[in-house]
Structure 1
Amino acid sequence: MELLQLRYFQVTAQFEHMTKAAEVLRVSQPALSKTISRLEENLGTSLFNREGRQIYLNDFGKIFLQRVNRIIQEIEEGERQIKEMAGLKARSTSVSIALPHILPFFIVEFMKRDPKMHIRQYSASSIGMKKQLENAEVDFCISMDPIYGDEIEWMPLLDEEVFLSVPQDHHLAKRESITLYEAANETFISRTSGYGFRDLTDDFCRQAGFEPYTPIELEEAGAILRLVEMGIGVSFTPQLSLLRQSLPSTVQLPITNPVCRRTIGIAWNRNHYLSPTALDFRKFTIDFFKHIAITYYQK
């Protein structure tokens, strides 16, 4: 069994289509088909069910793909580690982060400490982050929800308060605090369904005994407070979103019941090789959220 066969099988299994897989691998379709056939002959069983030009992984193929993914990932990890040790690879790390408000300050603070560092930043949902870690696509994920998995370790970084933001002329605006049920009849402006923060705030409302009326859902978190400022509705706002710079004219009300907080954490794959550079980045991240982040938002 050859490594080339395994790579060809992995890509073919991904697309379940010979022509598409051949295009990605930049080989002819007959050559790809022949390689897959030799692999199946070596294993003594078919890995795909074939229906014309379309192919589908069978049960044998699905089990074998899990093993192949691990093998190729280990080889890639080894290649990366050797290049890092030999000084052949640029000092870099990769992170998936879902905190658009604090992200620029986070990056700037790190670059102050290590201006020659190369950072690749990605965005994903909590489910997407888990896949990124499992597939070793990134070194770290900074998430608003714990990420669990057999190979994943998650460390809390910051516990922050979540406020109810209202327009300055709102009938609740002069209150020092509220119970969330007092906002049961309000129009909520929220993130779109599927975002971890949306799931969290919907749960807050259910704990308070109501389902929020949410006619406006936005992917851009920064636009939500602008709409609140314009009197379109109210929204939940985490403390890290209340940056001193360019803060819209809204009022943030502490919520006494239920307890409305969220925990930001960092996750990594314990089986994924982390270079000294990546470990430095993790140490910085812990320090940033413990000591530096608070200096950017309005208390």
Structure 2
Amino acid sequence: MDLQHLKYFQTVARLEHMTFAAQELHIAQPALSVIISRMEEQLGVPLFDRQGRRIKLNPYGKIYLEKVNLALHALEEGQRELSDLAGIEKATISIAATTLNRFSNVLGPYLAAHPQANFRIMQTPTEEMKVQLLQSGEIDFVFAAPPITAEGIVGSELLTEEIMLVVPPQHHFAGRSSIRLSEAAHEPFISLKPGYSFRDLTFSYCKEAGFVPRVVCEGDEPTSIGSLVAAGLGIAFLPAAARSGNSSLVFLTIEEPVCMRTMQLAWLEGRYVSGAARSFRDFVIGYFASGSDNLAVD
């Protein structure tokens, strides 16, 4: 079976959506559908349950995906080790994060010191998808918040930062510097869509404060939240580091409950890490240990 087709199957299985997988793989959706169908014919069993345009990995597919992940993982590790031994490491570092601009401050200094390095960066909206990418061996590292606790994944905590309540300058809370979260129980909220870890975390703080936030707008781009707050649509949660890009907004410290989050650089335990990836990992950990910078919203 074609190795590239196995990688196609891996992507379709992760996204469980043929069109989205085709877009990520940069191939035509009908061609991808044919490849998956032929793979199922060769195996003699269906790999997905199909309900209209929706597809879902079935028990056969889950078993096969586990073996495909192991096989591709072993082949990729072998290639990395041979490249390192032969001195022809291509210095490609693969990373997944929720927003692609969140770690630009650390990439610049690293590339200045290592101009030969190449990056492959993927945008993933949920921590579940980051775990899948690590476990499949498709990427070297993920930036995660809160830290990933899945078996076989390890990491280094980079920083812990305050989560703040953000309001437009004309808001009746704007003259204050702090607030108890329960005071915002009846306010309209702007939020990320379900599935984002930042949404889950902030909603847990609302629950602790005794209310469920009334969401008037949900989005899938974290960096757009500030502009929607500035437009007066509602209030929102943002990490303290987001103040640098949202100077027109008022950031309020949340007195109760204490709202914090921890950012982690995570990788798959036991996976072979290339020289380039080890260099980047050490640089990132040292960069944040020195207090050089903070990350923005994820």
Q: TM-score, normalised by structure 2?
A: 0.78
SS of 2:204's equivalent in the other structure is helix
Bigger shift: residues 264-273 or 62-71: 62-71
Partner of 2:185: 184
Is the contact made by 1:144 and 1:262 (CA closer than 8 Å) also made in structure 2?
Answer: yes
- CA separation of 1:22 and 1:225: change in aligned 2, threshold 3 A: closer
Task: List aligned pairs for 1:135-284, cutoff 5 A.
Answer: 135-243=136-244, 246-284=245-283
CA distance in 2, matches of 1:283, 1:167: 39
Q: TM-score, normalised by structure 1?
A: 0.78
- CA separation of 1:238 and 1:64: change in aligned 2, threshold 3 A: closer
Residue identity over aligned pairs, in percent, reads 32
Partner of 1:42: none
Bigger shift: residues 7-16 or 170-179: 7-16
Deviation at 1:227, TM superposition (A): 2.1
CA distance in 1, matches of 2:86, 2:173: 62
Partner of 2:116: 116
- CA separation of 1:91 and 1:182: change in aligned 2, threshold 3 A: same
Deviation at 1:32, TM superposition (A): 9.6
Aligned residues: 268
Residue identity in the other structure for 1:216:
C
- CA separation of 1:224 and 1:62: change in aligned 2, threshold 3 A: closer
Partner of 1:43: none
Task: Look at both structures and tell me which one has the larger radius of gyration over its CA atoms.
Answer: 1
Deviation at 1:128, TM superposition (A): 0.6
- CA displacement 1:58-80 (0-9 Å, x = unmatched): 97885465345323421221122
- CA displacement 1:177-212 (0-9 Å, x = unmatched): 110001111111111111111111111111100011
Residue identity in the other structure for 1:155:
S
CA distance in 2, matches of 1:80, 1:272: 11
Is the contact made by 1:11 and 1:21 (CA closer than 8 Å) also made in structure 2?
Answer: no
- CA separation of 1:192 and 1:67: change in aligned 2, threshold 3 A: closer
State the Cα RMSD in Å: 3.3
Task: List aligned pairs for 1:22-101, cutoff 5 A.
Answer: 24=35, 36=42, 48=45, 63=63, 66-101=66-101
CA distance in 1, matches of 2:60, 2:194: 36
Residue identity in the other structure for 2:45:
F
SS of 2:284's equivalent in the other structure is helix
SS of 1:293's equivalent in the other structure is coil
- CA displacement 1:67-95 (0-9 Å, x = unmatched): 45323421221122102221233112111
Residue identity in the other structure for 2:86:
A
SS of 1:224's equivalent in the other structure is helix
CA distance in 1, matches of 2:61, 2:102: 44
CA distance in 1, matches of 2:113, 2:8: 44
Is the contact made by 2:190 and 2:235 (CA closer than 8 Å) also made in structure 1?
Answer: yes
SS of 1:216's equivalent in the other structure is strand
Is the contact made by 2:166 and 2:250 (CA closer than 8 Å) also made in structure 1?
Answer: yes
